[in-house]
Amino acid sequence: AQRVTQPEKLLSVFKGAPVELKCNYSYSGSPELFWYVQYSRQRLQLLLRHISRESIKGFTADLNKGETSFHLKKPFAQEEDSAMYYCALQTGANNLFFGTGTRLTVIP
Partner 1 sequence: EAGVAQSPRYKIIEKRQSVAFWCNPISGHATLYWYQQILGQGPKLLIQFQNNGVVDDSQLPKDRFSAERLKGVDSTLKIQPAKLEDSAVYLCASKTSGSPGTQYFGPGTRLLVL
In the complex, which residues of this chain contact partner 1 (CB under 8 A)?
4, 9, 32, 43-46, 49, 51, 86, 88, 90, 93-101
User: Shortest Cβ distance from residue 56 to partner 1 (Å)?
Assistant: 12
Give strand pairing partners of 102.
85
User: Shortest Cβ distance from residue 100 to partner 1 (Å)?
Assistant: 5
Is 78 or 98 the residue whose CB approaches partner 1 more closely? 98
User: Shortest Cβ distance from residue 32 to partner 1 (Å)?
Assistant: 7
Q: Are strands 32-38 and 45-49 parallel, antiparallel or unpaired?
A: antiparallel
Q: Of the candidates 90, 92, 104, which has an alpha carbon nearest to the alpha carbon of residue 34?
A: 90
Is 40 or 108 the residue whose CB approaches partner 1 more closely? 40
- What is the distance between the terminal CA atoms of the chain, rounded to a whole angstrom? 41
Q: Determine contact, residues 79/64, Cβ cutoff 8 Å.
A: no
Is 18 or 65 the residue whose CB approaches partner 1 more closely? 65
